Amino acid sequence: MIDKVQIGDATLYHGDCLDILPTLDKVDAVVTDPPYGLGKKWQGGGAHTKARWKLNDGGRAMGWDADTPDISTILALNLPTIIWGGNYFDLPPRRGWLLWDKIVREFTSGHAEMAWTTLDQPIRAFNYAHAQLASEGKSHPTQKPAPLMLWCLNFLPDAQTVLDPFMGSGTTGVACANLGRKFIGIEIERKYFDIACERIEAAYAQGRLFA
């Protein structure tokens, strides 16, 4: 069953993106952070790792991240695209990678994360300590910082309608609300869909932050 919620210029769908994508009107760009298929890896990790991820995901041990999704439908849209975790997927070679440097190295997770893009430019890096997510309120185990997604959107200045087929807790939508851009988000997990609705509604209540 597909639910649709409209919040300002954000159109949010609860359902499978493979079912919803063919029904959408034209969009200008895709900015997304799909599951990387690391759920099984975390479940098989040490006691500290499993406890941390179970806590963050309500005791379900990253079951939503058990497999990498098929993103061929996204590529077939032939749009300007940014895909976080692109190094986990079989994607065409491109030079315009984006890098999030988490600065602090005392983490069991990676020191940085990478995004595959269709951008025709050299690699660009964004420095932002992972711990700063606490100031935003982390609602998803792999939640990206809002400043990071704002930075991503700056590479797509002509994209007035942005699509995120794996919306998670809605950070891309929050960034679009702050920039005054239209947003279409899709999330299959009800828990995170509801969180995304709350966060995006709060962003619109706060008002546009950037002209």
Give the pLDDT confidence score for residue 63 in this predicted structure.
52
The verdict on residue 116 lying in a domain is yes
C-alpha span between 36 and 93 (Å, rounded): 18
**Three-class secondary structure of residue 99 per DSSP:** strand
Question: Nearest 10 degrees: CA dihedral of 143, 164, 112, 42?
Answer: 60
Spell out the residues 6+ positions from residue 89 whose beta carbon is closer than 8 angstroms to its own: 34, 68, 71, 83, 116
Give the pLDDT confidence score for residue 160 in this predicted structure.
97
CATH number of the domain residue 197 falls in: 3.40.50.150
Main-chain phi, psi angles of 110, to 5 degrees: -65, 155
Spell out the residues 6+ positions from residue 200 whose beta carbon is closer than 8 angstroms to its own: 7, 8, 10, 12, 170, 173, 174, 177, 183, 185
The verdict on residue 39 lying in a domain is no
Residue numbers of the domain that contains 184: 3-34+69-206
C-alpha span between 97 and 181 (Å, rounded): 23
The count of domains in the chain is 1
pTM: predicted TM-score of the whole model, two decimal places: 0.85
The verdict on residue 114 lying in a domain is yes
The verdict on residue 55 lying in a domain is no
The verdict on residue 41 lying in a domain is no
Neighbours of 190 (CB within 10 A): 11
Angle subtended at Cα 61 by Cα 56 and Cα 67, rounded to the nearest 5 degrees: 115
C-alpha span between 176 and 153 (Å, rounded): 8
Mind listing the pLDDT tens digit of every residue in the chain (211 residues)?
679 999 999 999 999 999 999 999 999 999 999 998 755 554 444 444 444 444 444 444 445 455 678 889 999 999 999 999 999 999 999 999 999 999 887 765 789 999 999 999 999 999 998 777 667 777 777 889 999 999 999 999 999 999 999 999 999 999 999 999 999 999 999 999 999 999 999 999 987 665 5
Give the pLDDT confidence score for residue 143 in this predicted structure.
84
The verdict on residue 64 lying in a domain is no
Spell out the residues 6+ positions from residue 11 whose beta carbon is closer than 8 angstroms to its own: 4, 5, 182, 183, 184, 185
